[in-house]
Amino acid sequence: MVLIYPGSFDPITNGHLDIIERASAICDKLIVAVGNNERKKYEFSTSERIKLIRLTLGDRDNIEVTEFSGLLADFARKTGAKAVIKGLRAVSDFEYEFQMALLNKSLEPSLETLFMMTSVNYSYLSSSAVKEIARNGGNIEGLVPDCIKDIVAAKLAHR
Ligand code: PNS
């Protein structure tokens, strides 16, 4: 089974990494799909976001990291993935994710959305929080993967 894990990953956090590790353990192939929406303002460019994920993951046999733009349902159709996997941190994520799952299902009826609960130690974590902390000179250790911590901190310092 091929699963798609879509997101902005602006930047990847330890919460994303947790879902990637656990999701890739239960499928044949996990496609980490990095959204590139022209109307969205990202702190890191698409190639930077992909690079940070690849640095974090190294070489993994069953994980592919790739950019996608346009509708997720179209991307899923192109890749042949049967399902999308999303992480849920709290009840507050549910309403938005429920809407997205139903919209994607109406666009591509064969596409399932699966939800994986975040590990409890990452339930408070988001890319936005990481950016806010780093911009203000706070310590992001433990929030993002160790190997990208300095790159993320340097890019965001005093922005
Ligand atoms: O990490 P994010 O910012 O929550 O990720 C958002 C993402 C990329 C998963 C979401 O914006 C998305 O699925 N974009 C593709 C556009 C789409 O298909 N939208 C659903 C129908 S309106």
Could you report the per-residue pLDDT of 89-133, keeping only the tens digit for each?
Answer: 988 899 999 999 999 999 999 999 999 999 999 999 999 999 999
**SS3 assignment, position 70:** coil
Residue with tokens 């709290």: 90
Q: Does residue 2's CB lie within 6 angstroms of at least one atom of ligand 1?
A: no
Rounded to two decimals, the pTM is 0.97
Q: How many CB atoms within 10 Å of residue 82? A: 15
> Closest Cα to atom 12, ligand 1: which residue?
72
Confidence bin at 158 (pLDDT 50/70/90):
confident
Say if strands 112-117 and 29-35 run parallel, antiparallel, or are unpaired: unpaired
Q: Would you say the CB of residue 100 lies under 6 angstroms from ligand 1?
A: yes
What is the rounded CA–CA span in Å between residue 70 and residue 6? 12
- Nearest residue by C-alpha to atom 4 in ligand 1: 7
